[in-house]
Amino acid sequence: MKKETELKLINRIQLISMRLFAKVIRFFGFKPTYMMANIFAFFVWNFSKERRNLATRNIEKHLDVSADKAREIARASFSENFCSFAEILHTQNFSCDELGKRLFIPTQKNWEDFQKCDRPIVATTGHFGSWELLASMLGDIISTDRPRTSVVRKYPNPAVQQFITEQREAKGATMIGHRLAAVTVLRALRKKGLVAFLVDHRPHKSESIMLPFFGQETAVNIGPALLAVRAKAVIWPIFLNREKNGTYTYYIHDSLDTAILEGTLEEKIAAAALFYTQAVETHVRQYPSQWFWMHDRWRKPH
């Protein structure tokens, strides 16, 4: 991340403005933030016909529901998605300290096993629920003497990139760009660290394998699987649901120990990639309105 003094004047002004805006938003709390997000969602839903139709078609086809039901889920997903984006402004005020207050864990055994796991951890999730709050939680989710890293895509605007990085790293996690991640990730994993990936991006063809996802073959990023297999890591699918009553539910699915996978390297990678792809599908099927349906996930990779 660039130092602030290295940014151009216009970018420094942008960064300062974003910091001030975030400070004001945090002062008023989550509720006004969600009201603002829902206003944006309303306008995008009503004025972006392409995105609205794409989300509705994706839901109707891949969840096998009626057109009316698909439209209902799609409309709800727009609100949920814009709330997800807006939550990045609150990462400094959200952590594991919220457990038992507004953060709850129904899969208690998996949570305890996750906490006790003395192995390299690859945490996988998707553009689902409160993914920005989840990213910030990585800073205090395991012992602070272990590396805690998220692999993310970078933004072209340096001020936006620095601001977003500051928010995501507020609780001690480190963000690294996905293009230069391999060496850093392996180093972190070999120190029994935790590395998190969003695994529902549409990857480049050279970085993907074709796997079934909601009944249709699509390109799946093999990077997390490859790194997990090489480090003999445990893969834990995790998701943070946003609930209607202002609380959040932290789901930790059953894990996969890549050290016990059999076959060639390619077969192990395929098995690991299929595992986290199925975990995303399973969770989205349970809570479809919280996933990012407006993304053309099934388009062929370039």
Distance CA 102, CA 95 (A): 10
Q: How many CA atoms lie within 13 A of 7 on its CB side?
A: 20
pTM for the whole structure: 0.94
40: left (phi over 0), alpha (psi -120 to 50) or beta: alpha
∠ CA(95), CA(100), CA(102), 5° rounding? 60
Q: Is the CA virtual torsion 284, 123, 186, 177 positive or negative?
A: positive
Span between the terminal Cα atoms of the chain, in Å: 28
Neighbour count for residue 232 (Cβ, 10 Å): 15
Beta partners for residue 62, in sequence order: none
Beta partners for residue 104, in sequence order: 249
Q: Residues 6 or more apart from 280 whose CB is under 8 A from it?
A: 124, 125, 126, 128, 199, 200, 213, 237
Place of tokens 């073959």: 217
CB-CB contact of 121 with 193 (8 Å) = yes
Cβ contacts of 280-286, under 8 Å, gap ≥ 24: 280/124, 280/125, 280/126, 280/128, 280/199, 280/200, 280/213, 280/237, 281/213, 281/214, 282/253, 283/126, 283/128, 283/237, 283/239, 283/251, 283/253, 284/126, 284/128, 284/214, 285/63
Place of tokens 């009626």: 66
- Which tokens in the block code for residue 52? 């609205």
Q: Is 119 helix (H, G, I), strand (E, B) or coil?
A: coil
The tens-digit pLDDT sequence of the chain (302 residues) is: 555 667 889 999 999 999 999 999 999 999 999 999 999 999 999 999 999 999 999 999 999 999 999 999 999 999 999 999 999 999 988 988 898 999 999 989 999 999 999 999 999 999 999 999 998 888 888 877 899 999 988 889 999 999 999 999 988 889 988 777 889 999 999 999 999 999 998 898 888 999 999 999 999 999 999 999 999 999 999 999 999 999 999 999 999 999 999 999 999 999 999 999 999 999 999 999 999 999 999 998 87
10 Å CB burial of residue 27 (0-12, 13-18, 19+) is exposed
User: What's the pLDDT at 143?
Assistant: 77
Helix axis angle, 49-62 relative to 67-86, nearest 10°? 120
User: What's the pLDDT at 4?
Assistant: 66
**Helices (H), ranges, the chain:** 9-28, 30-47, 49-62, 67-86, 108-116, 131-137, 158-168, 182-190, 223-231, 265-286
**Helices (H), ranges, 106-173:** 108-116, 131-137, 158-168
Backbone torsions φ then ψ of 181, nearest 5 degrees:
-90, -25
Helix axis angle, 49-62 relative to 30-47, nearest 10°? 90
